[in-house]
Structure 1
Amino acid sequence: MKASIRIACLAAALAAGVPGWAQSGAIWRCGNEYTNNPGPNPAARGCREVHGGNLTVIEGTRPAGGAAPAPAAPGGAVTRAARSAAERVEPDQQRERDAEARRILEQELRRAEERLAQARADYADGKPPRLATERIDSPRYLARVAELRTRVERAEADVAAIRREIGRLEAGR
């Protein structure tokens, strides 16, 4: 008897929508914020109701409490001067960071160039030597040639991207 009463109470609680058991009601997107309580006038805040699908919101981390917030301008906006003052880096420290970035990029460029040279050697201008299990016109050989060509193109794109980054570092000096 007691078990049936418990089950009946549980069923009634679920039907009534006990908070914490299941989320009911609409989910609203207000800019980059998701909420189930958009306030009295959601349209005035620019809120839109989210329809369909599942929604999972994971909050990001908050800054450490030790840093003082930047001073706010009238109306609550952070001034550009306050923001840039908080983000300033000493010239020596910036030169050190730039040198480290350049060293890392040059190291990555050497690796990417080595991968490109190996990919080009494997590709052999579109006529790589066939394996013992392949015929020249077999689909397996043609698929391997296409894969090797893709590796060469990807390696070329990597080298070009790293060179662009090094160029950006040089332009920033």
Structure 2
Amino acid sequence: MKDFSPALASVGLALAGLLLAASVQAEDKPVYRCPGNLYTDALSAKEAAGKGCKTLDGAPITVIQSIKPKAAATSSSPGGEKVGADDQKARDADKRRILEAELQKEEAALAALQKQYNNGQPERQGDERNFQKYQDRVNEMKAAVTRKEADVAALRRELAAAGSGK
């Protein structure tokens, strides 16, 4: 058996060398980027040139399978089913009623904030002997009034859009 060991070892080394060469050769196969974002290594250099493909050098390629998106539903219902005209009118009326109630609530809150703000001269509170503390509260009130005015304006725009059938 000692006579076969060196021969067997050399055959094993030769086989390993061939496998290594084959794997290096597979890695050296050029990858082409063709028009339409098609990446392939199945073309010859002549075929790739004929199709307008460019060789990618040294860039690893990762292929991710994607799922085609479903066509967008054309209904107003979250479930995807069609909504009748009467149901849609009822929904629109509900939306308008909710927006009007929200607008009234926000307008009342804005009026209360504006009254308390007193055009930038709110009454001092007992713990505001320090002028800076008073000024900080006035600035916070001004910002709150500005936000509330923006909220009211947004609700009015939405209500106008709901009324016009958008």
The aligned counterpart of 1:95 is 89
The partner residue of 1:84 within 62, 71, 74 is 74
The aligned counterpart of 2:113 is 119
1:62-118: per-residue Cα shift (whole Å, max 9, x none)? xxxxxxxxxxxxx966445xx326442100000000000000000000000000000
Residues 168/42 of structure 1: CA separation in 2 closer, same or farther (3 Å cut)? farther
1:159 Cα shift?
0.3
Higher RCO, Cα 8 Å, sep 6+: 2
One-letter code aligned to 1:166: L
What is the TM-score when the length of structure 1 is the normalising length? 0.52
One-letter code aligned to 1:103: R
Corresponding pairs, count? 103
The aligned counterpart of 1:8 is none
Residues 130/77 of structure 1: CA separation in 2 closer, same or farther (3 Å cut)? closer
SS of the equivalent of 2:63 reads: coil
1:44 Cα shift?
2.0
One-letter code aligned to 2:140: E
Higher helix share: 2
1:169 Cα shift?
0.6
What is the TM-score when the length of structure 2 is the normalising length? 0.54
Instruction: Give structure 2 stretches of 5+ with no counterpart.
Output: 1-59
The 2-side partners of 1:42 and 1:114 are apart by 61
The aligned counterpart of 2:102 is 108
Rg larger for: 2
The aligned counterpart of 1:144 is 137
SS of the equivalent of 2:124 reads: coil
The 1-side partners of 2:131 and 2:65 are apart by 60
CA-based RMSD of the aligned residues comes to: 2.7
Determine whether 1:154 maps to 2:150. Answer: no
